[in-house]
Amino acid sequence: MGINAIRNFPLYGVVSWGARTLAGADELADQWKSVPVRRLAQYIENSLSSGLKWAAFEPNAEPLWAAIRQSVGDFMAGLFRQGAFVGSSSSRAYFVQCDAATTLMSDIDRGVVNILVGFAPVEPAEFVVVQIEQLAGQSS
């Protein structure tokens, strides 16, 4: 049912004894059912959004997309080396997509570049995908 028990520990007080979110019921098959996966996804999303601010001053085209893939790939490789993902190789643990398939002409006209990042967290070892929208080509 996706229910966390509420326990009272002498040194810590009342705590939620479990790692399920409100979407935690197994029947829902939600990618956000466990707290650690959600926290990792938020960390990745916030880190990338913050770390890609430089893209706002670059022309929204393949050279920018390649630089974003490199930058995000380096960040994800660091997390992989630290054991944040499952998989015997980096290609089985995460992916980064930023190209003409993720950023359409209508996005380019709006000054937006789309980045798709997927990763296999240690638990539950299924791929989780986050999409980041970053402003690009906005020189002023």
Round to whole Å and give the CA distance between 38 and 72.
19
Compute the radius of gyration of the chain from its Cα atoms: 18
Site of tokens 């992916």: 95
Residue 30's pLDDT is 64
Round to whole Å and give the CA distance between 123 and 41.
12
Q: Profile the chain (140 residues) by mean pLDDT over runs of 10 residues.
A: 72 77 61 79 93 92 96 97 92 95 93 93 74 70
- Domain extents in the chain: 1-31, 34-135
Cα dihedral 54, 76, 73, 24 sign = negative
CATH 3.40.640.10 fits 34-135, yes or no: no
Residue 89's pLDDT is 93
pTM score of the predicted model: 0.77
Residue 3's pLDDT is 65
Q: At a CB cut-off of 8 Å and minimum separation 6, what does 75 contact? A: 44, 47, 48, 51
Residue 109's pLDDT is 92
Helix (H) or strand (E) run with residue 95 in it: strand 94-97
Extract the tokens encoding 79. 């997390």
